[in-house]
């Protein structure tokens, strides 16, 4: 897998982690090593799938230490034929790959229509009629002059703020007393 296709982050559903009996059976030290292994599995060329020696190396365990911890780690993986598979990562990466593929195809379709270039194979992928690009005017239409018989709009002159009288101002907002605000009767 190309480095650009690898995920830099992932969603973690803590209930999935802490409700997993295989994870709960790990010692505190093994849980920390397990998280390191998970991170390396996301960055691996085949996300979610590794050899036993890779798992051991990512867990930072010597071959002698590995014999004590192997069974605990194996409960968290599907082990078959020397391959250790973390199903959650495999499912997640497959879903991301499919979503990325759909988004890329939709982007190509949209870019072709937006730029006035219609890729017939992409535009007709769902057997819908081809979309022709819309030609927009290069200038705005002229503004018509005012009509001679149109009624004139009368406007009253604005009084500057400095010349306003108290009669021009709205009445002040009255705030209820503390007793009324507390919900008691006046």
Q: pTM, whole model, 2 decimals? A: 0.51
pLDDT digits (tens, 9 = 90+) for 63-82: 999 999 999 999 988 999 88
Handedness of CA 109, 115, 121, 124 (dihedral sign): positive
**Three-state DSSP state, 150:** coil
pLDDT at 11 over 90: no
DSSP letters, 37-97, are HHHHHHHSSSTTEEEHHHHHHHTT--HHHHHHHHHHHHTTSEEETTEEE-HHHHHHHHHHH
The structural domains of the chain, with segments of one domain joined by +, span: 14-84, 91-123
pLDDT digits (tens, 9 = 90+) for 80-114: 988 999 888 778 877 777 877 788 888 877 776 66
Question: What are residue 50's phi and psi, to 5 degrees?
Answer: -155, 170
pLDDT digits (tens, 9 = 90+) for 110-163: 776 666 665 555 545 555 555 556 655 566 666 666 666 666 655 556 655 555
């Amino acid at each position: 897998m190309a480095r650009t296709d690898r995920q830099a982050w992932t969603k973690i559903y803590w209930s999935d982690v802490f409700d997993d009996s295989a994870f709960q059976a790990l010692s505190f030290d093994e849980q920390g090593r397990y998280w390191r292994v998970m991170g390396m599995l996301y960055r691996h060329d085949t996300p979610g799938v590794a050899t036993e020696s890779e798992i051991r190396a990512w867990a930072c365990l010597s071959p002698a230490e590995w014999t004590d911890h192997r069974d605990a780690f194996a409960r968290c993986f599907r082990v078959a034929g020397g391959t250790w598979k973390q199903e959650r990562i495999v499912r997640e990466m497959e879903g991301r790959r499919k979503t990325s593929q759909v988004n890329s195809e939709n982007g190509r379709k949209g870019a072709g229509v937006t730029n006035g270039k219609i890729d017939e194979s992409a535009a007709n992928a769902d057997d819908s009629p081809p979309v022709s690009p819309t030609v927009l005017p290069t200038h705005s239409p002229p503004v018509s002059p005012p009509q001679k018989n149109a009624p004139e709009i009368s406007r009253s002159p604005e009084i500057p703020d400095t010349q306003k009288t108290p009669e021009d101002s709205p009445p002040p907002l009255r705030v209820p007393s503390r007793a009324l605000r507390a919900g008691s009767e006046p």
